[in-house]
């Protein structure tokens, strides 16, 4: 069940094109399809008693704080393995994405091993954190408290943002953790490895378990001559990292800054980076959909050998089940500042929808069920992606046109709604935003049906099973 294939992208407010903070992640899985849905959790629906499905960890009722906030989430549709809320924005315009599966090493595992019984995991963190925090830094402290009290059975990274700050936290062993604030003018690419490098224990932009610095000293964990690099101390530097993790970061670094250069397998690519331009929603979506285009490593390309095309794990992949960009805007009133851009299915054949999060319901087409249903955008996107994969050279251009058209139409609806929202507040405003979300969901759903029809028309004459007297 563990979703181990994610890619996280974080962009500070001075690095984005519109001055918003953005935290994004593709929530990927394994060989089994994991349908995802889009929900809004009202305060009365937040659990008053909680027990993890996987680990059976019970949470003290006192830790399920009173007066939880409303929040959006993208949980697993079946719920059989727990909630797995994944990502959302609460009514105080604080966003959280959790989690990015990361790596560890035997040195820290010999000191603070991951729990074999009990503890929290990806299944739990959003549900136990997002309704109770009022800024990004509080998110770090809340998760830190939960980790120290209940522990964890897996290594994870997670991110939080409000209108001003972005924080990224990584778990360390069974009960320890570290987090750092992302500079406003910087971006981060975090694949499935421990990512935080430089760490300063005497700087307020860095927070960690109270005893972490002493633990490093006591057990002689620091291999560096100067300073602290948490990736060197607590992470890995393996052949798997060189093929599975590092190339994803390398490719996007070169997309955001063509002068970055470097080698795909480089184990020491920097955590904090700066782009050569302001980063847009479209840039992040493209990055989350990427598969090493214009390199020998592109599975759909014509530059590489069959072996090269299988060398590195791409970001856009069949195991993308849900991808989000959580955006807190600074150029609009707070009542419409939170936007959860959301797409289901493989990112090579889908489009993001910018859902307002000051809402009371979600569109029916995004309320996915566990069984195949073409009335739900998740299953429709899976179908278009699997058909598109049979001949990307033919279908790829159709997808590019579809995505540009869909994003343009959603932007237009969003611009119109932003202006109209000035005249609304309270329940009337939420009704207006529910209506806008429904309109955007309908637009993208209908465009996806049209894309599928265009793919069928184009593919008709390309089938192998054909015979024509004129052939």
Residue 255 burial (10 A CB sphere; 0-12, 13-18, 19+): middle
Could you give the CA distance from residue 389 to residue 387 in angstroms, rounded to a whole number? Answer: 5
Residue tagged 């840039």 (tokens): 283
How distant, in Å, are the alpha carbons of 115, 119, 143, 175, 465 from that of 109? 10, 15, 20, 11, 55
Asked if residues 369 and 78 have their Cβ atoms less than 8 Å apart, the reply is no
384/96 Cα distance (integer angstroms): 29
Largest distance between two CA atoms of the chain: 81
- d(C-alpha 292, C-alpha 301), whole Å: 9
In the chain, count of helices (H) and strands (E)? 11, 18
Angle formed by the axes of helices 426-459 and 377-388, to 10°?
30
Q: In Å, what is the CA distance from 353 to each residue of 4, 94, 285, 307? A: 24, 19, 11, 36
Q: How far apart are CA 447 and CA 161, in angstroms?
A: 31
Residues 6+ apart with CB under 8 A from 291: 298, 299, 300, 314, 315, 316, 317, 348
Length of the chain: 471
Active-site annotation holder among 6, 161, 273, 410: 6
* 274: Cβ contacts below 8 Å, ≥ 6 apart: 15, 185, 186, 187, 257
By C-alpha distance, which of 167, 166, 308, 187 is closest to 254?
A: 187
6 is catalytic: yes
Buried b (16+ CB within 10 A) or exposed e, 370-396: eeeeeebbbbbbbbbbebbeeebeebe
Residues forming beta bridges with residue 159, ordered by sequence position:
97, 168
> Could you tell me if 286 and 238 are in contact, meaning their C-beta atoms sit under 8 angstroms apart?
no
List, by residue number, the catalytic residues.
Answer: 6
């Amino acid at each position: 069940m563990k979703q181990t294939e994610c890619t996280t992208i974080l962009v500070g407010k001075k690095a984005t094109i519109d001055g918003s903070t953005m935290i994004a992640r593709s929530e990927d899985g394994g060989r089994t399809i994991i349908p995802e849905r889009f929900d809004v959790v009202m305060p009365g629906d937040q659990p008053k008693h909680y027990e993890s499905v996987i680990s059976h960890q019970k949470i003290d009722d006192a830790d399920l704080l009173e007066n939880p906030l409303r929040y959006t989430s993208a949980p697993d549709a079946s719920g059989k393995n727990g909630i797995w809320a994944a990502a959302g924005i609460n009514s105080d315009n604080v966003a959280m994405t959790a989690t990015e599966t990361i790596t560890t090493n035997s040195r820290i595992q010999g000191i603070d091993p991951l729990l074999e019984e009990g503890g929290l995991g990806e299944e739990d963190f959003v549900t136990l954190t997002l309704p109770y925090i009022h800024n990004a830094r509080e998110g770090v402290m809340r998760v830190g408290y939960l980790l120290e009290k209940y522990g964890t059975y897996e290594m994870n990274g997670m991110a939080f943002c409000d209108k001003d700050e972005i924080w990224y936290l990584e778990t360390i062993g069974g009960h320890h953790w570290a987090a750092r604030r992302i500079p406003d003018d910087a971006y981060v690419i975090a694949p499935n490895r421990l990512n935080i490098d430089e760490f300063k224990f005497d700087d307020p932009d860095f927070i960690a378990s109270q005893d972490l610095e002493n633990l490093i000293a006591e057990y002689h964990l620091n291999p560096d001559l100067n300073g602290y690099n948490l990736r060197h101390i607590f992470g890995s530097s393996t052949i798997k990292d060189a093929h599975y993790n590092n190339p994803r970061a390398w490719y996007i670094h070169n997309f955001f800054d063509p002068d970055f250069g470097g080698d795909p397998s480089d184990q020491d690519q920097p955590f904090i980076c700066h782009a050569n331009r302001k980063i847009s929603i479209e840039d992040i979506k493209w990055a989350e959909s990427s598969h090493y285009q214009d390199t020998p490593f592109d599975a759909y390309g014509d530059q590489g050998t069959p072996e090269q095309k299988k060398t590195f794990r791409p970001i856009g992949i069949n195991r993308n089940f849900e991808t989000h960009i959580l955006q807190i805007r600074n150029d609009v009133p707070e009542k419409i500042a939170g936007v959860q851009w959301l797409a289901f299915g493989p990112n090579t054949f889908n489009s993001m929808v910018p859902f307002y999060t000051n809402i009371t319901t979600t569109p029916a087409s995004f309320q996915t069920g566990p069984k195949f249903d073409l009335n739900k955008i998740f299953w429709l996107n899976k179908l278009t992606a699997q058909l598109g994969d049979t001949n990307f050279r033919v279908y790829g251009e159709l997808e590019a046109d579809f995505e540009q058209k869909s994003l343009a139409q959603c932007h237009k609806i969003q611009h119109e709604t932003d202006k109209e929202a000035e005249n609304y507040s309270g329940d009337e405003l939420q009704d207006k935003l529910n209506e806008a979300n429904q309109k955007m969901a309908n637009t993208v759903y209908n465009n996806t049906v049209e894309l599928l029809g265009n793919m069928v028309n184009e593919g008709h004459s390309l089938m192998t099973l054909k015979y024509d007297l004129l052939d």
